[in-house]
Chains A and B, each alone.
Chain A
Amino acid sequence: MKQLHFDYYMQITYAGCVSECHYTLKCIPADNIRQRLLGFSMEILPKNKWMEGVDSFGNAMVYGSIEKEQRDFSFHIQGDVEIDIREYETVKDDGEIFVYQYPYGLSTPGEELERFYQSLLGELNAKPDDYEKGVFLMHILYGNFIYEKEVTDVNTTAEEAWKLGKGVCQDYAHILIALCRRAGIPARYVSGMLIGEGYSHAWVEIYCDNHWFALDPTNNLIVEDSHIKIGVGRDAFDCQINRGIVMGGGSQTQNIRVCVEEKTEEIKT
Chain B
Amino acid sequence: MYDLDLLEHTDTVNELLARYGVKFGIYKNNEFKEQLFPFDAIPRKIEKKEFDYLEKGLKQRVAALNLFLKDIYSKKEIVKDGIVPKDFIFASSGYMAECEGVTPIKGIYSHISGIDLVQGRDKQWYVLEDNLRVPSGASYPMIARELCRRSSPATFETNKLEDNRNYPKLLRQAMDYVNVGGHTVILTPGRYNAAYFEHSYLSEKTGAHLVTGAELKVEDDKLYYVSYDGKLERVGALYRRISDEYLDPMNFNPQSVIGIPHIFDVFRKGNVALINAPGNGIGDDKGIYYFVPKMIRYYLNEEPVLNNAPTYLPFYEEDMKYVLEHFDNLVLKDVAEAGGYGVVFGNSMTKEEKEKFITLLKKEPRRFIAQEVIDFMDIDILEGNETLPRKADLRAFVLMAEEPVVWKSGLTRFSRNPDSFIVNSSQGGGFKDTWVLSQ
Contact = CB atoms under 8 A, between A and B. Distances in A.
Interface of A: 22-24, 49, 51, 53, 55-57, 61, 63-65, 93-95, 98-99, 101-104, 234, 238, 243, 245
Contacts of A49: 220
A238 B220 CA distance: 23
A51 B80 CA distance: 36
Nearest to A61: B265
11 contacts: A23-B250, A53-B268, A56-B99, A57-B97, A65-B218, A95-B75, A98-B89, A98-B90, A243-B250, A245-B249, A245-B254
Contacts of B281: none
Nearest to B86: A98
Main secondary structure of the interface of A (DSSP, over half): mixed
B261 A51 contact: no
Query: Which of A23, A95, A234 counts the most B-chain CB atoms under 10 A from its CB?
Result: A95
Given A49-B220, A63-B250, A245-B249, A99 B262 contact: no
Given A24-B250, A102-B91, A56 B261 contact: no
A56 B265 contact: no
Given A22-B262, A65-B217, A65-B261, A99 B254 contact: no
Contacts of A51: 220-221, 262, 265
Contacts of B79: 95, 98
B269 interface: yes
A49 B222 CA distance: 13
Interface in B189-222: 217-221
B80 A95 contact: yes
Interface string B81-101: 000001101110000011111
Listed from nearest, the 6 A-B pairs whose CB atoms lie closest are: A22-B261, A56-B100, A95-B76, A102-B91, A99-B97, A98-B90
A56 B262 contact: no
Nearest to A103: B91
Contacts of B219: 65
Interface residues of B, number: 29
A226 B43 CA distance: 73
B338 interface: no
Contact of B86 (A63, A101, A104): A101
A95 B250 CA distance: 26
B262 A55 contact: no
A252 to B, nearest CB: 15
A98 B250 contact: no
A94 B76 CA distance: 9
Contacts of A99: 90, 97, 100
A119 B86 CA distance: 27
B249 A63 contact: no
B80 A56 contact: no
B102 interface: yes
Nearest to A234: B97
A67 to B, nearest CB: 9
A59 B90 CA distance: 20
Q: Which of A57, A94, A243, A245 has the most CB of B within 10 A?
A: A245
